[in-house]
Amino acid sequence: MRKEGTSDLDRRSILAGLGAAAFAASAQQASAQTAKGQPLIGNPVLPIPMGERMRWAIVGLGSFGVGQVIPGFVDANASRMTAFVSGNPDKAKMLGERYGVSRFYGYDNFDDIARDPEIDCVYIVLPVGLHAEYTIRALKAGKHVLCEKPMASTVSECEAMIAAAKAAGRQLGVAYRVHFEPTNIAAKTIIDAGEIGPIRNIRADHGFQADPSWPPHKWRLTKELGGGGSMYDIGIYGLNTSLMMLKGDEPVSVSAVYAYPREDPRFAEVEGGIEWRLMMASGAVVSGSSSYCYAPYQSFQHYMADKGALEMEPATTYYDNRLVRQSGGPPSTVGTGNPITQFAGQIDAFSSAARANKPHRTPGEMGLRDIRLIAAMYRSADRNGEVLAL
Ligand code: NDP
């Protein structure tokens, strides 16, 4: 029963006062017990002052460039953007204001970057059919180049890019971001340490549903700008990531068959899906599929070995990769760092390589190897899955 003369407001004030006093007393007690300085743990990468960072030009302000590459620079510690190269000056200027970039080039005056001392590195984020031309022009301008995957449309283009880097004395990297992604690095650490024993079999399935009405997918469905089909664009993750895990092992033969609806008008110029297999020198088998007909987005890697297995699904996305270990008993999820750090990690690693003029972790030669293998897959698929020695 309410005491005569005490309002609800009065009761709330009294209780609040009592609560605040009790909280203050317990907080004081708790902080006296726990707050004290500790030594610096680990080896954190400390940001380099802005004026000393490697300076980058971003070429092609499209879906991936604006959505992932540019935000990656915001988190970078050793790199900063100084220039945008775009065929759309209004978009470039708007993004320049947003990100503090004030130097702008178009495709017509791109070669003028040779006279720009504020650019050390160039990041090519153009459609595949333009990778070789703009990479070679940037190298001739005396800049280091990180080129998006796949490296180029053909083996001869990749070879010309590598030759241009050698002639210029500059570094050429292919942007295989998975090599900098914490979940995949954790998987590689487990494999390299021999914790699951020798790998016997890898399965890699990757794909999405290509939408010809969406501009970034539209050019992917053309031979001229896409270079090839789904294997060039999405299946390459399965190929490159699997080989990343097989330290010191080499493919000795390849086979593949096409697997997509031939009557689908989307695939008049490029393949819409492929099933592929590599035999490795160790005897391990790596097989996978790639498709522009999978929904929803598929990104699956499974490593089967003598003493255990690792399953990753999703395996190679931007934000949410997962690593599950099976070694007898219930499967356990392995905790790793945040996948989003892969973008800044890749950019800073290339900056360090360029500064030292030493090869990047994923150099042009790796991009060439992958295009050689994909070209061999297409040759095999053209011959109904004939096994080709490498
Ligand atoms: P978009 O189509 O979204 O962007 C490409 C940009 O290139 C355009 O916005 C345009 O920029 C420029 N461009 C110049 N010429 C042409 C042309 N003829 N047709 C179309 N665009 C042109 O593609 P994405 O951003 O999806 O892909 C770009 C690159 O990034 C590709 O190499 C792709 O493989 C790679 N990529 C990598 C990913 C990864 O996870 N590593 C994920 C997605 C893509 P502007 O208007 O500024 O001139």
Query: Which tens digit of pLDDT belongs to each residue from 112-146?
Result: 999 999 999 999 999 999 999 999 999 999 999 99
> If you measure from the C-alpha of residue 185 to the centroid of ligand 1, how many angstroms do you get, rounded to a whole number?
27
In what helix (H) or strand (E) does residue 289 lie, and over which residues does it extend? strand 285-291
- Structure token digits, residue 59: 């070429």
Residue 23, pLDDT score:
56
Residue 39, pLDDT score:
83
Q: For the chain, list residues with pLDDT below 50.
A: 1-11, 14-15
Residue 41, pLDDT score:
80
Q: Give the nearest ligand 1 atom to 92 CA.
A: 47
Residue 9, pLDDT score:
45
Query: What is the spatial order of strands in the sheet that 285-291 belongs to?
Result: 332-333, 324-326, 308-312, 293-305, 199-209, 285-291, 273-280, 251-258, 388-389
Q: Which residue of the set 123, 149, 232, 378 is catalytic?
A: 149
Catalytic residue status for 237: yes
Residue 128, pLDDT score:
98
Model pTM score = 0.91
Q: Give the nearest ligand 1 atom to 61 CA.
A: 47
- Structure token digits, residue 191: 């494999």
Residue 1, pLDDT score:
37
Fold of the 179-339+364-389 domain: Dihydrodipicolinate Reductase; domain 2 (3.30.360)
The protein residue with its alpha carbon nearest to ligand 1, atom 4, reads: 62
Catalytic residue status for 292: no
Residue 6, pLDDT score:
41
Residue 4, pLDDT score:
41
User: What are the domain boundaries of the chain?
Assistant: 50-177, 179-339+364-389
CA 119 to chain centre: 23
Fold of the 50-177 domain: Rossmann fold (3.40.50)
Q: How many whole angstroms separate alpha carbon 324 and alpha carbon 302?
A: 10
Measured in degrees and rounded to the nearest 5, phi and psi for residue 28 equal -60, -40
